[in-house]
Amino acid sequence: MKSYTYIQIEKKGPVFCIALNRPDARNAMNTQMIMELSDALTVYEDDPSSRCAVLYANGLHFTFGLELEDVAKSIIEQGRNFFQKGNINPWDTGGTGRVRKKPLITAVHGFCLTLGIELMLASDIALAAEKTVFAQMEVQRGILPFGGATIRFVRTSGWGNAMKYILTGDTFDASEAYRIGIVQEVLPKKELITRAIELAEKICAQAPKAVDAVLANARKAIEVGDLEAIDDLVPLVTDCLKSEDGQEGIRSLLEKRTAVFKGK
């Protein structure tokens, strides 16, 4: 496994664990940390034995957001070419040719500010510890959110709920994050990572081709439109049914047992 300065990666069977690891700086993201996160997600995406990833953080906080002075310089100099060509953009906001296709669960605690919220919104499932504090406070620093909040926060929570926090930068707690739909579960901090890995293992137990098809079709509906996604449904399910895992799914149903998928 690769080693990084500000990111830790570990495999737990088919679950690929990624930890933000700059606790002395409250996991504030400088350019190097962002690049390492991009690379770690790319390693996950390219590893056929990894079926679901869990993103979390070491230390007291998920992240205090950007180390603005450092990252602003990089953005001004590189613009949309910020990420290495061929690497995954953790926020899926363009600038590279790679879009993450495999599932990702994000688990947050402590302070989860700005780009931290946007990492949650760019993932597929988000969990939060009970005492997590959130804020989308870019306007308080003279900029706008540029990791997707103006799109995904609005789409997930509705215009009024999103603008209440994006336009003011006010903090909100985990119960409010759950109410407006940006987290799917709120639980005690000591249970956070265990629960995230448990969900990841459940996803890993399903047929990979089916999981990929679900994500691809759902994303197409959002990014392109419902009609185009509907057109893909029959070809996708036909492809799944013709696979070995699809045939195993049918057999397991007839035999009234749990399916054992092999990713074929």
Count of residues making up the chain: 264
Per-residue pLDDT tens digits for 186-213? 999 999 999 999 999 999 999 999 999 9
What's the whole-number mean pLDDT along residues 224-252? 90
List of domains in the chain: 7-205 (3.90.226.10), 208-255 (1.10.12.10)
Contact residues for 74 (Cβ-Cβ < 8 A; gap 6+)? 31, 82
Residue 151's pLDDT band, with cuts at 50, 70 and 90, is very high
E strands present in the chain:
7-12, 15-20, 52-57, 104-108, 111-113, 125-129, 133-135, 171-173, 185-187
Assess whether pLDDT exceeds 80 at residue 180.
yes
Structure tokens at 16: 């690929």
Per-residue pLDDT tens digits for 131-144? 999 999 999 999 99
Query: Across-strand partners of 53?
Result: 16, 104
Q: What pLDDT is attached to residue 207?
A: 93
What's the whole-number mean pLDDT along residues 228-249? 90
3-state SS, residue 101: coil
Instruction: Please tell me whether the overall predicted TM-score, pTM, comes out greater than 0.85 for this model.
Output: yes
What's the whole-number mean pLDDT along residues 51-74? 89
H or E segment to which residue 161 belongs: helix 159-166
Residue 69's pLDDT band, with cuts at 50, 70 and 90, is confident
H or E segment to which residue 218 belongs: helix 208-223
Contact residues for 156 (Cβ-Cβ < 8 A; gap 6+)? 121, 162, 180, 181, 182
Please, are residues 113 and 102 in contact by the beta-carbon 8 Å criterion? Answer: no
Q: What pLDDT is attached to residue 75?
A: 66
Query: Across-strand partners of 108?
Result: 128
| Cβ neighbours, 10 Å, residue 170 | 13
